Amino acid sequence: MELTELIIRITVAFVILFILARIMGRKEISQMTFFNFVSAISIGSITASLAVDSSLSIRNGIIALMGWTIFTLLMGYIDIKSKKARKITTGEPIIVIKDGKIMENSLQSTRLDIDSLTTLLRQKGVFSIKDVDYAVFETSGQLSVLKKDLRQSVTKEDLNIAIKEKVYPAATEVITDGLINKNNLKRLNLDHKWLLKQLENKGIQTIDQVFYGEIQQDGSLYIDKKDDRMTN
């Protein structure tokens, strides 16, 4: 491929991709769904081929790009007009925390593990699962969080609520899926016996019954039992 042809191909690919991106709109980036993801990868691959693959004619490259764009716009139109089709193409939001309890089945269906869930919560400014009333995993991969009433934006000072003394700087995970995090316990200067005693006080006989356990800033233990299931 000569240098002149390469420059022409790169210029054409850039201009076409820019125009098509403007036509498809902001949703392609801001609300990435399964189909948007596949579409973006395909359009990117075709554009790359158009720019550097001499075996692909410029005409065919442009036609392929326009075809993918039309298909993407058509799917977007169907999503807007048909709720049933939208469920198939983009899926549905899934509740992963309900009434303060982690829905293990929902985590499995969304391929989320507890570490990923706590990471998404921290990105929302939530550093303890205990503070969450509802959490919904959106089709875009984002997590929507509703905090418990006492954790809403109104401050404790506004409500004249006494502030508990902080024993630890942040809430710390100590149990995950029935397994004790010994390193975190040791870091908090706590031991296995103390943890078992706290569980016994809460009516829990074995670690296996606990899906998630967390030491709060005030030193108390928050737990979420296994087998929480969605009910209509």
DSSP characters over 98-159: ETTEE-HHHHHHHT--HHHHHHHHHHTT---GGGEEEEEE-TTS-EEEEE-GGGSSS-HHHH
- What pTM did the predictor assign? 0.57
Domain assignment of residue 17, yes or no: yes
Q: Are residues 72 and 164 in the same domain?
A: no
Percentage of the chain modeled with pLDDT above 90: 6
45 belongs to a structural domain: yes
Pair 118, 214 in one domain: yes
- Would 103 be classed as within a structural domain? yes
Query: What are the residues whose beta carbons fall under 8 Å from the beta carbon of 223, sequence distance 6 or more?
Result: 175, 199, 202, 204, 210, 212, 213, 214
Same domain flag for 173 and 106: yes
What's the rounded Cα separation, in Å, for the pair 5 and 176?
Answer: 58
**How many residues would you count in the chain?**
232
Averaged pLDDT, 3-24:
82
Given 64, 88, 112, the domain boundary residue is 88
Residues 129, 214, single domain; the answer is yes
**The domain spanning residue 181 has which CATH number?**
3.30.240.20
76 closest CA partner among 26, 41, 110: 26
Residues 116 and 72 in one domain: no
Q: Are residues 205 and 119 in the same domain?
A: yes
Domain that holds residue 156: 94-225
- pLDDT value for 4: 83
Q: Which amino acid is at 205?
A: Q
Are residues 70 and 111 both part of a single domain? no
Give Cα 77 to chain centroid, integer Å.
25
Q: Does 232 fall in a domain?
A: no
pLDDT of residue 85: 74
Residue finishing a domain among 29, 63, 88 = 88
Cα 231 to chain centroid, rounded: 22
Do 120 and 202 fall within a single domain? yes
**Is 170 in the same domain as 56?**
no
Residues 143, 208 within the same domain: yes
Q: What's the pLDDT tens digit per position in 193-227? A: 899 999 999 888 888 889 889 998 888 999 888 87
Q: Of the residues 72, 88, 104, which one is the last residue of a structural domain?
A: 88
**In sequence order, what are the residues at sequence separation of 6 or more whose Cβ sits closer than 8 angstroms to the Cβ of residue 205?**
199
Q: How many domains is the chain partitioned into structurally?
A: 2
Do 191 and 122 fall into the same domain? yes
Q: State the pLDDT confidence band at 142, using cuts at 50, 70 and 90.
A: confident
∠ CA 45-61-34, nearest 5°, is: 40
Distance of CA 196 to the CA centre of its chain: 32
Checking if the pLDDT of 32 tops 80, the result is: no
DSSP label at residue 37: H
27 with 119, same domain: the answer is no
